[in-house]
């Protein structure tokens, strides 16, 4: 999904403009008084630095024999290149924060990272988190931050007034939308003025694709699956169906993300397919409406295939250049980040966008209802990772194609076929077999 100012807030560290290039950090070491110093690298964007400082303070209060020196660097492409360079030259900090999923795999983890399989927090990882920080040879990353989902944010008061129930299949969702439309309320909000938001019908449907075809992501990376075929075509088809049914707001072509947030919060519209990180916008701009807002997965054609599509958090890693006392101290720091105390610090500084990726941590009781609505899907195992955590392939023009499909300019089949063409060049640039 392409970066935007809003998405940069929702997905800290993803596609953010570089601010400064820090000097290369020196390796930590022991001191004469028996304390050990380690370094921790994070990106200098969003709330990353503020969270890191709070965590370090809490950690050092519990471990007076370890000090943590904070280092920062840019995010985005510049940050990606710096990560690769530091790992290649042996200059990486003792612990560092970086992406999970496909960018994790690009770090050559078996060669560059310390395996953490034997650490006590590993057994607490959610099943969806483990694959995005692992190779066949081991687990290398610990989640840092909360999850978020690509789903349907909805107005609970509208549902209550119309006597509607949360849909679990596409037909139920369509029936709800027709009832909402008949009541004079916009059924589904679309905000193509911020083009990235148009992708949710496809990206948020991927959990459902994986439910029907568990090998889809692996086969897609190998060039053996296409969006023009079912089950992946359903996301495009659903978006076309929504436009043709007249479910969109009249100004869908120019409306912005903030307009979508306002409409669903105030009940001007009933549904908004979007990332659940939008909860921070609701908390800031519509606090009185917060408990009227809920969330459910984009429904699959069949209820048994409906899964919540989850964007997993980034992670912290330890490079193989961290050794001796520093390695033990680094592991202790990583364990703290995934402890109830570490998670409590995170939730006091950051606005959670979903449940944590470890069962060791729970959301506070006072989080908005939207986040509480997500928890049962995690508890019951009804989640799947978003495609970007399972495959490095993401074409640059998806948001333009989905704007066309959602505007009636292009059919679902043509949009899917065009996107299948869009990803070929990237797959070839990545050197993937089968392309």
Q: Please tell me the pTM assigned to this model.
A: 0.86
Distances (CA, A) of 186 to 251, 263, 288, 300: 11, 9, 21, 21
CATH topology identical between 5-147+314-361 and 148-310+386-429: yes
Average pLDDT for residues 405-415, to the nearest whole number?
98
Of 42-46, 200-204, 332-336, the range with the lowest mean pLDDT is 42-46
Give the burial class of 81: count Cβ atoms within 10 A of its Cβ; 0-12 exposed, 13-18 middle, 19 or more buried: exposed
Better-scored residue on pLDDT, 49 or 28: 49
Average pLDDT for residues 208-236, to the nearest whole number?
97
Q: Average pLDDT, whole number, for the chain?
A: 92
Per-residue pLDDT of 268-323, as tens digits, reads 999 999 999 999 999 999 999 999 999 999 999 999 999 999 999 999 999 999 99
The pLDDT value recorded for residue 167 is 98
Average pLDDT for residues 90-109, to the nearest whole number?
95
Contact 9, 261 (CB under 8 A): no
Average pLDDT for residues 59-66, to the nearest whole number?
97
d(CA 13, CA 7): 10
Better-scored residue on pLDDT, 75 or 85: 85
Q: Is the pLDDT of residue 118 over 50?
A: yes
Of 26-35, 209-218, 268-277, 376-385, the range with the lowest mean pLDDT is 26-35
Contact 80, 43 (CB under 8 A): no
* pLDDT band for position 432 (cuts 50, 70, 90): very high
Q: Is the pLDDT of residue 10 over 90?
A: no
Q: Is the pLDDT of residue 1 over 70?
A: no
The pLDDT value recorded for residue 174 is 98
Phi, psi of 294 (to 5 degrees): -125, -170
The pLDDT value recorded for residue 165 is 98
Nearest one of 374, 432, 56 to 217, comparing CA atoms:
432
Domain residue ranges of the chain, discontinuous segments joined by +:
5-147+314-361, 148-310+386-429
* pLDDT band for position 59 (cuts 50, 70, 90): very high
* pLDDT band for position 426 (cuts 50, 70, 90): confident
- 3-state secondary structure string across the chain: CCCCHHHHHHCCCCCCCCCCCCCCCCCCCECCCCCEEEEEEEECCCCHHHHHHHHHHHHHHHCCCEEEEEEEECCHHHHHHHHHHHHHHCCCCCEEEECCCHHHHCCCHHHHECCCCCCCCHHHECCCCHHHHEECCEECCEECCECEEEEEEEEHHHHHHHCCCCCCEHHHHHHHHHHHHHCCCEEECCCCCCHHHHHHHHHCCHHHHHHHCCCHHHHHHCCCCCCCCCCCHHHHHHHHHHHHCCCECCCCCCCCHHHHHHHHHHCCEEEEEEEHHHHHHHHHHCHHHHHHEEEECCCECCHHHCCEEEECCCEEECECCCCHHHHHHHHHHHHHHCCHHHHHHHHHHCCCCCCECECCCCCCCCCCHHHHHHHHHHHCCCEEECHHHCCCCCCCCHHHHHHHHHCCCCCHHHHHHHHHHHHHHHHHHCCCCCC
Per-residue pLDDT of 227-263, as tens digits, reads 999 999 999 999 999 999 999 999 999 999 999 999 9
% residues pLDDT > 70 (the chain): 92
* pLDDT band for position 23 (cuts 50, 70, 90): very low
The CATH homologous superfamily for domain 148-310+386-429 is Periplasmic binding protein-like II (3.40.190.10)
Q: Is the pLDDT of residue 8 over 60?
A: no
Of 36-40, 92-96, 352-356, the range with the lowest mean pLDDT is 352-356
The pLDDT value recorded for residue 19 is 30
Q: Return the CATH number of 5-147+314-361, one of 3.40.190.10, 3.40.50.300, 3.40.50.740, 3.90.1210.10.
A: 3.40.190.10
The pLDDT value recorded for residue 284 is 92
Provide CB contacts within 8 A for 221, sequence distance 6+.
390, 391, 392, 393, 427, 432
């Amino acid at each position: 999904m392409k970066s935007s100012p809003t998405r940069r807030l929702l997905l800290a560290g993803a596609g953010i403009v570089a601010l400064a290039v820090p000097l290369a950090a020196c390796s930590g070491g022991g001191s004469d008084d028996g304390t050990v110093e380690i370094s921790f690298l994070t990106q200098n964007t969003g709330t990353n630095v503020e969270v890191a400082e709070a965590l370090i303070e809490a950690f050092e209060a519990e471990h007076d024999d370890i000090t943590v020196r904070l280092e920062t660097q840019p995010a985005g492409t510049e940050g990606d290149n710096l990560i690769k360079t530091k790992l290649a030259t042996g200059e990486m900090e003792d612990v560092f924060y970086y992406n999970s999923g496909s960018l994790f795999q690009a770090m050559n983890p078996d060669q560059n990272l310390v395996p953490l399989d034997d650490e006590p927090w590993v057994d607490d990882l959610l099943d969806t988190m483990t694959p995005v920080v692992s190779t066949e040879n081991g687990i290398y990353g610990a989640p840092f931050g909360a999850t978020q989902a690509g789903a349907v944010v909805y107005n609970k008061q509208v549902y209550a007034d119309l006597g509607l129930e949360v849909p679990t299949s596409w037909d139920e969702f369509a029936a709800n939308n027709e009832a909402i439309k008949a009541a004079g309320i916009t059924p589904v909000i679309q905000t193509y003025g911020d083009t990235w938001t148009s992708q949710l019908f496809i990206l948020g449907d991927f959990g459902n694709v994986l439910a029907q075809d568990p090998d889809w992501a692996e086969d897609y990376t190998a060039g053996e699956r296409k969006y023009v075929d079912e089950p992946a075509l359903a996301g495009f088809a659903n978006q076309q169906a929504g436009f043709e049914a007249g479910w969109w707001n009249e100004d869908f072509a120019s409306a912005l993300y903030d307009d979508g947030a306002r409409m669903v919060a105030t009940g001007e519209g009933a549904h908004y397919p979007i990332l659940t990180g939008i909860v921070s916008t609701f908390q800031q701009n519509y606090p009185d409406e917060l408990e009227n807002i809920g969330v459910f997965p984009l429904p699959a054609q069949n209820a048994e295939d409906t899964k919540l599509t989850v964007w997993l958090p980034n992670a912290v890693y330890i490079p193989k250049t961290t050794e001796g006392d520093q390695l033990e101290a680094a592991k202790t720091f990583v364990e703290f980040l995934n402890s109830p105390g570490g998670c409590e610090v995170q939730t006091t500084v950051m606005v959670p966008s979903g449940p944590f990726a470890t069962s060791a941590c729970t959301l506070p009781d006072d989080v908005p209802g939207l986040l509480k609505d997500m928890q049962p899907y995690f508890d019951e195992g009804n989640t799947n990772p978003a495609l970007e955590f399972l495959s490095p392939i993401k074409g640059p023009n998806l948001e333009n194609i989905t704007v066309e499909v959602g505007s009636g300019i292009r059919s679902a089949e043509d949009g899917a076929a065009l996107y299948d063409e869009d990803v070929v060049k990237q797959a070839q640039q990545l050197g993937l077999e089968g392309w």
